[in-house]
Amino acid sequence: MFDALFNPQSVAVIGASRDPGKVGYAILNNLLSFRYPGQLYPVNSSAAEVLGLKTFPRVSEIRKDVDLAVIAVPARFVPETLIDCAHAGIRAAVIVSAGFREAGPEGMRLEQEVKKISAQQGMRILGPNCLGIINTSNSMNATFAAGMLPRGRFAFFSQSGALGIAILDWAIGNEVGFSKFISLGNKTDLNEIDFIDYFMQDPETDIILGYIEDVVDGKRFLSSASRATKIKPVILLKSGGTEAGARAASSHTGALAGSEVAFHAAFLQSGIIRAQGIEDLFDTALAFSGRKLPRGDRLLIITNAGGPGIIAADTSERLGLRLTQLSKETIESIAGLLPPNASLYNPVDIIGDATAERYAVVLNKAILDPNVDGIIVILTPQAMVDVENTAGIIINTSKATDKPVITSFMGEMRVRQSIEKLKENSIPNFSYPETAVKAFKRLSDYTAWRNLEDEEVTADPRHKGDGDERINAFLSEGRHHLGEDESMTILSRYGFIFPRRELARTSREAAAIAARIGFPAVMKIASPDILHKTEVGGVKLNIRTRKEAEDAFTEITANVKRLMPDTFINGVMVYEMVKTGREVIIGVTFDRTFGHMIMFGLGGIYVEVLKDVSFRIVPVSRREARSMIAEIRTNALLKGARGEKPADTEAIVEGIVNLSNIATDFPVIHELDINPLVVMEKGAVALDARIILERPEAA
């Protein structure tokens, strides 16, 4: 199928037009003028000839094998056109016509029809509402964009046609080479996942680039992307991140963007490199275009200018890169060949009057130095600097090593030609040292991802016990909130530890239970309907005597009756009071694109204000759980600030993985909170839990 799309022997352009203002003209014109070598069949019911080619009034009249149809007729004629194509044996179509989902209810209806035809006829469809498709290797430009991409090793898919055009133009202007270009349009059939799958195997593609606004199938996306990123870098730009952005995305291509945190997690978990903007997308692609990956993250900076060297060093530190030191042997072998005021530490500063030979002295040794994984060469074009020869030296050294060499030739006029030469030799150059360092960081991160061993996440269904029956019983009563006690029963099967507890129905019972459990005790209102117990005066801590327990019972029930008169109250739960530890929150939420996610953050009253939390998509492995903990800004508090002993983060890891198993075992869970989980020096105890089940109508 992808062969019909990318390498068709023959293309029918349906809706080919004589009017240069029409899309149907532009596409045929592009196919002709960029010399698509296969057969072209323009289909036009009124004109006998378009652009010098004989036309056919309809597809059925072509009577030859046609591999690909490019359809540019008005939206309302598209369904019947597709059926004609199917009857003529055409297996793949690109629909560039607009006027579908993005255009309102009637367009939506038409698009549904297109989808149906695609499924019924087994015909694969790109679009509708797309710009078309380019394959540079067979000179096929089936788009209505102006100009043709240079040949190269990047593949690109774009959900936005307008952005696609801009990127095309940029690539042409900067002579950046592409293997293939896809405009996804409304993704009614083929979507980003199909192209990730295809490009990961495509021998003409080294780097997969894309712009997406949403993802059609979160789970499939994750599994395809995880496989692709182990083979070649996948760099994606995703919009719809901020609230305003998400609205813009839905009014734009009619896309409903998944939530930002879910995408953040999805990209992390599948090794996708996320571009922060269009510029970053290309900077990152440029970094990988050198086709060399560092073995590790030890970066050496060589510079002829102090300031830019320091900026590069600062950036490295900020990004968490290791500024390596040259080995003793290297230093000894080059010290005598450099001026005495040169600095041999990292950044290696060979001084403003550095000759090309001086660069060569350091570079030739640095590429052999076992302490160095990659090199950034900074050059500022002072009058005495031999820019051209330095570029030549860098090119030669780079050829002699498999370590990435990245340059930052700063300036414009005096460096332009040399940058051109560097580019011809696949050496990524960046105008600013910060961007060069960031580029190296992307490379070393990608190496780290590639070196990660897949970690099996194993669930143990024995933990489920009678959980399904219990949950179904709640649902059949029309209840969706499991209170503390019920939640704790399910959670404890998965290894969560709760304080001892017992339900009191009278104040005398409360006193007796408290005495049995031991003072100090904690008492909480027991009602599945109350989500925030403290807010209704439903929690009493530090109860020290029988008398206090009796009073607490009366006070708690009175508080709740006053504030929530209609609420059903089971009684008051008496708990053993737990010694303090670090309070964290772990929980489960449901994302409509990616499914269940696990959340982690420091607990307490500010958790919603600070938003210092991390998410991962289920299933979450132990390694990912550790990275969730490392990801939050206040992570240092767990390590122990101001003389505190560090908290048992492995107990949190355990909790996260257990929650992930629960979410897998019970798809019906919509939300779950353990807040707080108290983490001690050794172990953790959960003090509060709630589970919210999906409402049937939401399923």
680 binds, among ligand ADP, Mg ion, none (CB under 5 to 8 A by kind): none
Work out which of 97, 315, 324, 675 binds Mg ion, going by CB under 5 A: 675
Retrieve residue 9's tokens: 């022997």
Q: Tell me the residue length of the chain.
A: 699
Shortest Cβ contact with Mg ion: which residue?
688
Closer residue to ligand ADP in complex, CB, 208/689: 689
Closer residue to ligand ADP in complex, CB, 24/499: 499
CB of 571 to ligand ADP, least distance (A): 15
CB of 168 to Mg ion, least distance (A): 53
Retrieve residue 652's tokens: 């949190």
Closer residue to ligand ADP in complex, CB, 443/504: 504
CB of 149 to ligand ADP, least distance (A): 57
Closer residue to ligand ADP in complex, CB, 269/675: 675
Q: Are 125 and 135 contacting, i.e. CB atoms less than 8 angstroms apart?
A: no
Closer residue to Mg ion in complex, CB, 654/688: 688
539 binds, among Mg ion, ligand ADP, none (CB under 5 to 8 A by kind): ligand ADP
522 binds, among ligand ADP, Mg ion, none (CB under 5 to 8 A by kind): ligand ADP
405 binds, among ligand ADP, Mg ion, none (CB under 5 to 8 A by kind): none
Residue 435 within binding range of Mg ion, rule CB under 5 A:
no
Sheet hosting strand 234-238, strand order edge to edge: 140-143, 132-135, 178-183, 151-158, 207-212, 234-238, 273-275
CB of 635 to ligand ADP, least distance (A): 20
Closest residue by Cα to residue 2 from 161, 205, 170, 150: 205
Kindly state the number of chain residues that form the binding site for Mg ion, as judged by CB under 5 A. Answer: 2
501-504 and 571-576: which strand pairing? antiparallel
| Residue 279 CB neighbours (<10 A) | 11
CB of 577 to ligand ADP, least distance (A): 4
Closer residue to ligand ADP in complex, CB, 113/555: 555
DSSP code, position 41: E
Q: Which residue is it, tokens 């004609």?
A: 84
CB of 675 to Mg ion, least distance (A): 4
Query: Which residues of the chain form contacts with ligand ADP (CB under 6 A)?
Result: 499, 522, 524, 532-534, 539, 541, 575, 577-578, 583, 675-676, 687-688
575 binds, among ligand ADP, Mg ion, none (CB under 5 to 8 A by kind): ligand ADP
Query: Using H for helix, E for strand and C for coil, what is the string for 614-632?
Result: EEEECCCCHHHHHHHHHHC
Q: Please list the residues that pair with 322 across neighbouring strands.
A: 298
**Is the bond preceding 619 in cis, omega lying within 30 degrees of 0?**
yes
Work out which of 688, 689, 692, 693 binds Mg ion, going by CB under 5 A: 688
Q: Give, for 443, the enclosing helix (H) or strand (E).
A: helix 433-451
CB of 245 to ligand ADP, least distance (A): 33
Rounded distance between C-alpha atoms, residue 442 and residue 272, angstroms: 11
Q: Please list the residues that pair with 543 across neighbouring strands.
A: 521
3-class SS shares of the chain: helix, strand, coil, % to 5: 40, 20, 35
Retrieve residue 460's tokens: 């143990």
CB of 672 to Mg ion, least distance (A): 13
